[in-house]
Amino acid sequence: QQLIPISTSDLLNTPVKDIEWVVDRLIQDQGITIISARPGQGKTWIAMAIAKTVALGEKLFNHFNVKKTTVLFIDEENPLNSVITRIKMLGMTHETPVIWLIGKGIKVTSDAHMEAVVKICEDNGVGLVIFDSLIRIHNSDENDSRSMARVFEQIRKLTKKNIHAKARFVT
């Protein structure tokens, strides 16, 4: 294959589609978004707030417009009791269109697990998947770029199906 560079001028003259957002200017549709911070800084609270507002079509933090869609929240970090307590504190109700997989041992590096997740998304009209947390959904070495490339390759299976994958992890 011959390498042919393109000029900035040609790039600027190339028609592009407008960016679509799940959460305006924060979470791009058909992309992967990662929230990173030290433990105990509120990442799970933010992820749950995003899940609620996207599922209900409300503004995130009363500021950011969202694209309303059903949310799948995969929580491999927190015990069931903690999840239930938090969703009550956030004001989620029986009608909030968030579905949950909690403590199921899901690994995105497993083809069988990812096929099951994709099927759940397709069967339930899910447009946003939240993983809590990245370190819990794979057995790869996070300091090895090849290993992590495989993890994100698996997560991209969701984006190829028009399901936005939002992974939250602790560094």
Tens of each residue's pLDDT in the chain, 171 residues:
899 999 999 999 999 989 889 999 999 888 888 888 888 899 999 999 999 999 999 999 999 999 999 999 999 999 999 999 999 999 999 999 999 999 999 998 899 999 999 999 999 999 999 999 888 888 888 888 888 888 888 888 888 777 766 554 432
Q: Rounded to an integer, what distance in angstroms lies between the CA atom of residue 72 and that of residue 121?
A: 7
Q: How much is the CA Rg of the chain, to the nearest whole Å?
A: 17
Q: Output the six-digit token pair for 91.
A: 């004001």
Q: What is the pLDDT of residue 154?
A: 86
Q: What is the pLDDT of residue 166?
A: 57
Q: Which residues contact 121 (CB under 8 A, 6 or more apart)?
A: 72, 129, 158, 161, 163
Q: What are phi and psi of 37, to 5 degrees?
A: -165, 170
Q: What is the pLDDT of residue 170?
A: 36
Residue 22, helix vs strand vs coil: strand
Q: What is the pLDDT of residue 164?
A: 64
Q: What is the pLDDT of residue 169?
A: 41
